[in-house]
Amino acid sequence: MVSVENSTTDPKLLLANRLGEIRAYASSLASFTLQWKDLEQLFESIQSSVDDCFDDIRARQKRITEASTSLVPPQPPEALKYLCLNMDGKGLRLFLKEKIKECGPFSIEDEVSAALLFAADPAMLVLDTLVVFYPRKSKHRVELFHTRRTCILLLQQLINISAKIGPSVTEKAKNLAIEWKGKLEEETDYSSGALGLLLLLAAYKLGCVFPVNQMLDLFEMVALHAQAFELYRRLGLTERVSDFIQILITKRKPIGAIKFIYEFGLADKFPPPLPSLRAGLQCAKRANGKSAKEEDIDKEIAAVKAVIACMRDPEISKSLGNRINQLEALKRSREMESEGNEGCIRTGPPQAQEQHHNENKRLRADLAANSSPK
């Protein structure tokens, strides 16, 4: 055996002991390095989780702020607020009619909604404004057009504010709806009348006043209107949508049918063939004529937009988009003429008359050239 003294003095043994200690330290250091890496990964994971939490909190704060801002209704003009506070239906109608003439109905929708909330009975107030939807004395077409736009705007905003409606108001609205239904049957341009009646039924929750088949007849008149889908759902006719689409197809109204097919996700059940699209555009070509009415132009614009929604060819869509621009230009021109601008032009210098005549002639020629997709 090696003595203790020799083990402490023998250089080889001392070196071996030191090497053993170094190896032990090296092993510990390697283990520590691995543990440190694990700790780093853990810290990074915690940091990432904290960052995600902060981002989520910021996003929620932003949404809460935006929601709080949106919940604050816009303040209506004092004159509009005053009319609603005083339940002045006639004054409200006349005020909004002038506003609509100036800037259109869409720019004042929020103001009207906010103003109606100041009325003691918004439903009764709106009902009071509707007495001239069918005037006792015949009005100029443009004047009647603005009057009905005003009534339609008020009905739309009454729906939006979800106003409470008392039994007596409901009964009056029901009687008015029955009266409008009878007068609608006597009209030739029935689209605006049908839209007004459907809005009246929706606003005052009168979906059961008329039989389903009569309701579908009303929707057939407004199938191309932008609000048709919402009203159809609001009046509880969703279960009959397949029947309604089949009615439109049978009566050769393919554009309306296509709009409802895509809106209610029934493309598999009713695949729209290309000939139907072409036929729909041909049915709407009445807007090309010199004597076309504004309602005809609106119908063709809606028809072309419906076809664009079904087309995948960008060239055809572009051509149809140009068609819409031309129709809208023609519509603006007709509105100006109807409101008396044509008379001003005729009393102007001959050069102005000739320029106006040439412009209308060019516009009609462009419309004829683009009357159907290529």
Q: Over the stretch 179-188, which tens digit does the pLDDT of each residue have?
A: 999 988 877 6
Answer yes or no: are the C-beta atoms of 92 and 83 closer than 8 Å: yes
237-262-302-139 Cα dihedral, nearest 10 degrees: 0
First to last CA, the chain: 110
| Confidence band of 284 (pLDDT split at 50, 70, 90) | low
Record the pTM: 0.61
What pLDDT score was predicted for residue 4? 47
- Average pLDDT in the 281-298 region? 56
Neighbours of 307 (CB within 10 A): 27
- Average pLDDT in the 134-145 region? 80
What pLDDT score was predicted for residue 8? 56
- Helix locations, the chain, DSSP H: 4-9, 11-71, 78-85, 89-103, 109-116, 122-129, 141-161, 167-184, 191-203, 212-221, 228-234, 241-250, 254-263, 274-283, 294-310, 314-338, 341-346, 350-369
The percent of residues above 90 in pLDDT, for the chain, comes to 29
Provide the token pair at 86.
Answer: 């005083």
In whole angstroms, how far apart are CA 5 and each of 13, 47, 82, 162? 11, 57, 113, 103
Q: What is the DSSP letter of 268?
A: T
Q: Is the pLDDT of residue 204 over 80?
A: yes
The 8 Å CB, 24+ separation contacts for 271-276 are 272/310
Average pLDDT of the chain to the nearest whole number: 75
| Top-confidence range, 124-128, 226-230, 346-350 | 124-128
Residue 83's nearest CA partner among 132, 122, 133, 136 is 122
The percent of residues above 70 in pLDDT, for the chain, comes to 62
- Average pLDDT in the 306-323 region? 57
Cβ-in-10-Å burial (0-12, 13-18, 19+) of 366 comes to middle
CA distance 162 to 273: 40
CA distance 178 to 131: 13
CA distance 268 to 31: 65
| Confidence band of 302 (pLDDT split at 50, 70, 90) | low
